[in-house]
């Protein structure tokens, strides 16, 4: 009979042990590299989320109604957004026989001519804000009117202006002389950025950052409705700092936004600042 040959049980065990040892050595060498790669990916995702959220806030801060930023606390920033603006007719044209519509200091009117074209055409129920000197004006609605109709001047009427706005009764605030107004979207009259539940547990941020829209109101609210858009999750810390009068002209404020996101033991702190034009 031909003799059969093969591996003994001892030889097989030795091979398995050697393969396990070699595999363990490779795993120990590759593990830091793999963990480092995963950590970089997580930090990049957290950085992108934080950067997107803060830049969204800065974009709206720069386009907000002048002097409309206010803080209820360091985690609750509110502003009144704008979609466009222009110059209003501040008096009659003495070379014409009439027909123009102008704003006055003494008498409230329900229509006025706009001397500059709109980039974003307003619509009925949008708001007009004129000469906002401080948050109390716009949030108290003392210089706010509602658009009821938007008309265009054409042909022989173009001397009167480009557009005519019909609004609820309004006038020029006393002491304001620059002749400008801004348009606030009727559906998003006031915007708040609110951080809630910020904290760090087990290497993971517990808080959230939301964008909340609501009608203009005298009292600032930091409540977050369930349907409010989420800008950032995994918030470990969040702080908004606002100085309304920064600089020699006392007309340029400065806002500083600080946001730290954490997840899986990785933490990304990000700070973004922006100048705020407070010239009405």
Position 31 pLDDT exceeds 90:
no
pLDDT of 249 reads 47
CA distance 280 to 178: 8
In 203-280, alpha helices (H): none
Task: Give the range with max mean pLDDT: 164-168, 175-179, 202-206.
Answer: 164-168
CA distance 277 to 79: 13
Q: How confident is the model at residue 3 (pLDDT cuts 50, 70, 90)?
A: low
Task: Report residue 209: phi and psi, to 5°.
Answer: -125, 120
Beta strands 190-196 and 207-214 are: antiparallel
| Structural domain spans, the chain | 45-80+188-277, 84-184
In 63-124, alpha helices (H): none
pLDDT (tens digit per residue) in 38-72? 667 788 899 999 999 999 999 999 999 999 999 99
Q: Give the number of other CB atoms < 10 A from CB of residue 59.
A: 12
CB neighbour class for 278 (10 Å; exposed up to 12, middle 13-18, buried from 19): buried
The position carrying tokens 């603006």 is 85
The separation between CA 258 and the C-alpha centre of its own chain, rounded to angstroms, equals 14
Position 246 pLDDT exceeds 70:
no
Position 34 pLDDT exceeds 70:
no
- What's this model's pTM, rounded to 2 decimal places? 0.83
pLDDT of 7 reads 67
CA distance 167 to 160: 17
To the nearest whole number, what is the mean pLDDT of the chain?
A: 89
Position 250 pLDDT exceeds 60:
no
pLDDT (tens digit per residue) in 75-115? 999 999 999 999 999 888 877 778 899 999 989 999 999 99
Question: What counts of helices (H) and strands (E) characterise the chain?
Answer: 2, 15
Which residues make Cβ contacts (< 8 Å) with residue 85, sequence separation at least 6? Answer: 180, 181, 182, 183
């Amino acid at each position: 009979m031909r003799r059969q040959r093969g591996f003994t049980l001892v030889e097989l065990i030795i091979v398995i042990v050697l393969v396990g040892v070699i595999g363990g050595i490779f795993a120990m060498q590759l593990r830091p590299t793999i963990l480092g790669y995963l950590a970089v990916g997580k930090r990049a995702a957290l950085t992108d989320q934080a950067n997107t959220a803060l830049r969204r806030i800065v974009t709206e801060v720069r386009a907000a109604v002048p002097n409309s930023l206010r803080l209820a606390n360091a985690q609750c920033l509110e502003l009144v957004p704008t979609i466009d603006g222009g110059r209003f007719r501040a008096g009659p044209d003495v070379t014409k026989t009439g027909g123009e519509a102008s704003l006055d200091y003494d008498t409230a009117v329900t229509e006025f001519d706009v001397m500059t074209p709109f980039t974003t055409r307003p619509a009925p129920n949008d708001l007009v804000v004129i000469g906002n000197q401080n948050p109390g004006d716009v949030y108290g609605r003392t210089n706010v009117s509602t658009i009821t109709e938007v008309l265009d001047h054409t042909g022989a009427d173009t001397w009167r202006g480009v557009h005519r706005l019909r609004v609820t009764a309004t006038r020029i605030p006393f002491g304001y002389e620059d002749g400008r107004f801004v348009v606030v979207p009727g559906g998003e009259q006031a915007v708040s950025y609110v951080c809630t539940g910020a904290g760090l547990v087990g290497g993971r941020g517990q808080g959230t950052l939301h964008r909340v829209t609501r009608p203009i109101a005298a009292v600032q609210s930091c409540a977050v409705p369930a349907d409010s858009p989420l800008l950032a999750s995994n918030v470990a810390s969040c702080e908004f700092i606002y100085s309304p009068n920064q600089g020699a002209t006392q007309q340029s404020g400065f806002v500083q936004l600080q946001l730290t996101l954490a997840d899986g033991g990785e933490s990304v702190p990000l700070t973004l600042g922006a100048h705020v034009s407070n010239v009405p």
